[in-house]
Amino acid sequence: MDEIVVKLADTNKVTWQDAKSLSYVLGADIAAADKYVQEEDKVAHIVSAYFKRKYIGDWQVAEGGKPLAVGKHFNVSHTNGAVVFVESTNEIGIDIEKIRPADQDLRRYISNDTEYAFITDDKSFFEVWTAKESLVKATGEGIASPCKIPALPIDGAKTYNGTTFFSQHATFSDYVLSVTRSGNTPFALQIVPESIR
């Protein structure tokens, strides 16, 4: 079975000053991050840039916001206290969310009937949400109508817009993570902590 390595940075104790001194980060990355108001958002932007500079080098951003590099597929996601990075030979998307309360209206809005029945608590809500988000990040699309994006199976193959994708999720601490890759080849996730100091 294939294995996808997910690099995970814990940003809970990283200050803006710490982030600005990370290796690989360029002045342009710092200037772009400095436009954010919240320190947490600035740090997440810089750590995302750190991952891309270290493992990818140069990249561009496509019209829909998807990061692209020559001959490489990769994706980055962040949430409160964590930034994750993944790369593959196939189109790939990743999403991470911290588990927190999700009201019934939001649960209903993002899901079709089968998914809504699957959502029994906040954890399962974020399993559905990250599955949808990682899928559209693999395709490079945005989420205009979340209920039309397939989440199930959370772990397994699904078809979206005529293309087959395989998704795998992981739950750890109070986070839910989903990775989706084009093709129907199963894979396992290996989450590797990245020391960014």
Distances (CA, A) of 62 to 66, 82, 96, 121: 5, 24, 21, 35
Per-domain boundaries in the chain: 2-193
Report the mean per-residue pLDDT for the chain: 93
What type of residue sits at position 164?
T
Rounded (10°) CA dihedral 67, 72, 75, 76: -90
Q: How many CB atoms lie within 10 A of CB 5?
A: 12
Mean pLDDT of 64-79: 86
User: In angstroms, how far is the first alpha carbon of the chain from the final one?
Assistant: 33
* Confidence label for 140 from pLDDT (cuts 50, 70 and 90): confident
Q: What percent of the chain is predicted at pLDDT more than 70?
A: 99
* Predicted confidence (pLDDT) at residue 171 exceeds the cutoff of 90: yes
Q: How many CB atoms lie within 10 A of CB 82?
A: 22
Please give the CATH architecture assigned to the domain spanning 2-193. Alpha-Beta Complex (3.90)
Mean pLDDT of 57-85: 87
pLDDT tens-place string over residues 78-106: 999 999 999 999 999 999 999 999 999 99
Rounded to two decimals, what is the model's pTM? Answer: 0.94
Structure-block tokens of residue 144: 């205009």
**pLDDT at position 178:** 98
* Predicted confidence (pLDDT) at residue 60 exceeds the cutoff of 90: no
E strand or H helix that includes residue 25: none
Sheet holding 163-172, edge to edge: 92-98, 175-182, 163-172, 156-160
CB 182 within 8 A of CB 163: yes
**pLDDT at position 66:** 77
